[in-house]
Amino acid sequence: MPLKVWMNGKLYDRAEAKISVYDHGLLYGDGVFEGIRVYDGKIFRGEQHIDRLFNSAKAIALQIPLGREELMEAFLETLQVNKLKDAYIRVVVTRGVGTLGLDANKCHEPQVIIITDSIALYPQDYYEKGLELVTVSTVRTPHNVLSPKIKSLNYLNNILAKIEAQQAGVIEAIMLNKDGFVAECTGDNIFAVAKGRLVTPPPDAGILEGITRQVVMELAEKDGITVLEQQLTRFDFYVAQECFLTGTAAEIIPVVRIDSRQIGEGVPGPTTLRLLEMFREETRSNP
């Protein structure tokens, strides 16, 4: 049975779920989105994701034609129809059909699309052995050009960095900001363990403040680990005891090499593994 996609209040087979070629989401990347995990039928941190979606939409003057509760009900309806208990929700809101010009005022009906499916961002082998990263030349979009808090449909900056990583023979990359500090990876936030403390770039480094990032910081503090947000250079990661990435799809994934330099012992470290264990306990037992 093909998966159903929720579009503007109706469910369609995925092959029939279509938008107009004149939609500004397609023409210009004019829209916002969220990725949300579902564990054992429970939407994890759903309210936080919905808040971020609405904040992103407000920041680009896009009116979502649903309330927060209606959107949550649509998530649950789509999951139920597709009989999914462990899943990934992708909710997309586009500006809607307009003209070939940039005038957003000519788009009158925003489109709301909800996709529910399974997702495996990285093979299991990487969770056991760790990732290798490279630093790429593609600079993270400065926050004074486009706020990284806006999770928009235009991900070209990240895609170009991803292409660079793949051309270098790895699957993920570190992106620096315009000042040369580490910002984030192409789709995940980054952490280091240094002198027993957990450190990660601050919001003004040009990062998307990931919800999984926030959960991990909460879990670390709960476990007695000092957490610091501070400007970090590549050097700080090269000499770190451990490194890992966080993201909704990735969860927590260890990093063992950066720019051909071994991180720590070259295997997933104890703090990373402890936080991964705690994260799995959290996601499997809480809504």
Q: Which residues are catalytic?
A: 151
Q: Report which secondary-structure segment, H or E, holds 161.
A: helix 156-167
Angle at which helix 68-81 crosses helix 46-59, to 10 degrees, equals: 120
DSSP 141: P
The set of long-range contacts for 260-264, using a CB threshold of 8 Å and a minimum separation of 24, is 263/237, 263/238, 264/193, 264/240
Q: Report which secondary-structure segment, H or E, holds 88.
A: strand 87-94
- Structure token digits, residue 278: 């705690």
Amino acid at 241: Q
Distance CA 77, CA 145 (A): 38
Question: 109 and 94 in contact (C-beta within 8 Å)?
Answer: no
Minimal CA–CA distance to 127: which of 225, 247, 210, 213? 247
Residue 92, CA distances (Å) to 2, 32, 226 in order: 20, 6, 36
Distance CA 195, CA 228 (A): 12
Angle at which helix 211-222 crosses helix 46-59, to 10 degrees, equals: 140
